[in-house]
């Protein structure tokens, strides 16, 4: 699309607006899913086009000039109008679609969604379950939850959520001799035994299509299941399951929130901010 004469590139404008809002090149880069040098380059291109210095750069600091402050205020109003128009369009096109693992969605996300709806009644969340990698270019998905190493984002701009820990559980009165688990995390029992120093059993665990099914099998007395403790909070309160000796073990992995490349839409930002607040709580 050809921009009107005198109109700076939108990428440069959004970069400057985010720098002005956050006061940080790093925060602006994270919000736009680009690198910090890319933000710096956009700022310099914008200043060169306008012929005005918008920021003053120090050794370890950055602040707006007087002209930059005035320009940022006008851009904030303009981008606010764009965000409101985009949100209205998003509501018209349908729900905000989130791709997530079945068990995480069933036991963690969905029980908390009423709190999100209370904060954002204008948005509707649709949860799609899958363990396959997400392809935002081909799928009608607005956000995705993936697991990965805690220090290595699974994609540029990924937002780290909660750490993954696992612990064993079994039905009250059941021996729990058979080991149960989900196919998405087949090594959790072996890693748990190694971390706790307990001898590994001779028989491999029985793996179900999802950890949700493995949890239900444990409730029915078919064995002991390994899973994050937050997945069975309701079952522990209802005394359908009991915690087994050994406790929880960190798996050196985290859940991550992935958003489509490019500027973050208002509804995606609202969902990301809410998720972060929930995981930190």
Q: Is the pLDDT of residue 80 over 50?
A: yes
What is the reported pLDDT for 5? 60
Instruction: Write down the pLDDT at residue 168.
Output: 97
Q: Which one has a higher pLDDT value, 262 or 270?
A: 270
pLDDT in tens, 218-255: 999 999 999 999 999 999 999 999 999 999 999 989 99
| Winning range, highest mean pLDDT, from 34-43, 51-60, 218-227 | 218-227
**Lowest mean pLDDT across 3-17, 92-106, 142-156, 236-250:** 3-17
The pLDDT tens digits for 114-151 are 999 999 998 889 999 988 888 887 888 899 999 988 88
Q: What angle do CA 110, 113, 117 make, to 5 degrees?
A: 155
Q: At what angle do helices 25-32 and 10-22 cross, to 10 degrees?
A: 130
If you average pLDDT over residues 37-47, what whole number do you get?
91
Predicted confidence (pLDDT) per residue in 167-221, tens digit: 999 999 888 789 999 998 999 999 999 999 998 888 899 999 999 999 999 999 9
pLDDT over threshold 90, residue 261: no
The average pLDDT across 30-45 equals 87
- pLDDT value at position 83? 67
Q: What is the pLDDT of residue 23?
A: 85
Show the domains of the chain with their CATH numbers: 10-92 (1.10.10.10), 95-147+254-280 (3.40.190.10), 163-251 (3.40.190.10)
Query: What pLDDT is recorded for position 116?
Result: 95
Arithmetic mean of pLDDT, 19-24: 87
CB 190 within 8 A of CB 196: no
pLDDT band at 58 (very low <50, low <70, confident <90, very high): confident
pLDDT(91) > 60: no
Calpha distance 97→101 (Å, rounded): 13
Q: Closest by alpha carbon to 160, among 22, 259, 249, 268?
A: 259
Helix (H, G, I), strand (E, B) or coil at 9: coil
- Residue 3: which pLDDT band, with cuts at 50, 70 and 90? low
Distance of CA 28 to the CA centre of its chain: 18
Complete DSSP assignment for 135-172? -TTTS--SEEEEEEETTS-SSTT-EEEEEEEEEEEE-T
Q: How far apart are CA 165 and CA 255, in angstroms?
A: 11
Q: Could you say which DSSP state residue 32 is in?
A: H
78-99 mean pLDDT: 73
pLDDT bin (cut points 50, 70, 90) of residue 154 is: confident
Tokens describing residue 147: 């697991």
| pLDDT for the residue numbered 260 | 87
Q: How many angstroms separate the CA atoms of 213 and 138, rounded?
A: 29
Which residue spans within the chain are E strands per DSSP? 55-57, 62-64, 96-100, 125-129, 143-149, 159-170, 179-182, 206-208, 224-227, 242-243, 249-258
22-46 mean pLDDT:
87
Residue 1 pLDDT:
47
Instruction: Give the angle subtended at the CA of 133 by the CAs of 271 and 129, to the nearest 5°.
Output: 60
């Amino acid at each position: 699309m050809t921009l009107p004469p005198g109109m700076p590139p939108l990428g440069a404008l959004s970069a400057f607006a985010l720098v002005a809002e956050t006061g940080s090149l790093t925060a602006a880069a994270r919000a736009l899913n680009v690198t910090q040098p890319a933000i710096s380059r956009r700022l310099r291109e914008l200043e060169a086009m306008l012929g005005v210095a918008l920021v003053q750069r120090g050794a370890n600091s950055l602040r707006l000039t007087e002209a930059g402050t005035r320009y940022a205020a006008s851009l904030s109003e303009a981008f606010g109008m764009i965000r409101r128009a985009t949100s209205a369009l998003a509501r018209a096109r349908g729900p905000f679609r989130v791709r997530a693992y079945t068990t995480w969605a069933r036991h963690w996300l969905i029980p908390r969604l009423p709190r999100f709806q209370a904060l954002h009644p204008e948005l509707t969340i649709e949860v799609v379950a899958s363990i396959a990698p997400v392809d935002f270019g081909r799928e009608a998905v607005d956000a995705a939850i993936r697991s990965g190493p805690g220090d290595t984002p699974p994609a540029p701009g990924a937002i780290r959520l909660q750490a993954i820990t696992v612990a064993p559980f079994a039905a009250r009165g059941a021996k729990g001799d058979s080991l149960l688990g989900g196919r998405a995390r087949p090594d959790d029992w072996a890693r748990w035994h190694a971390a706790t120093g307990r001898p590994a059993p001779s028989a491999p665990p029985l793996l179900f299509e999802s950890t949700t099914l493995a949890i239900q099998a444990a409730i029915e007395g078919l064995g002991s299941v390994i899973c994050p403790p937050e997945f069975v909070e309701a079952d522990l309160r209802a005394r359908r399951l009991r915690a087994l000796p050994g406790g929880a073990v960190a798996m050196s992995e985290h859940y991550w929130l992935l958003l489509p490349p490019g500027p973050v839409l208002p509804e995606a930002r609202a969902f990301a901010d809410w998720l972060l607040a929930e995981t930190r709580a």
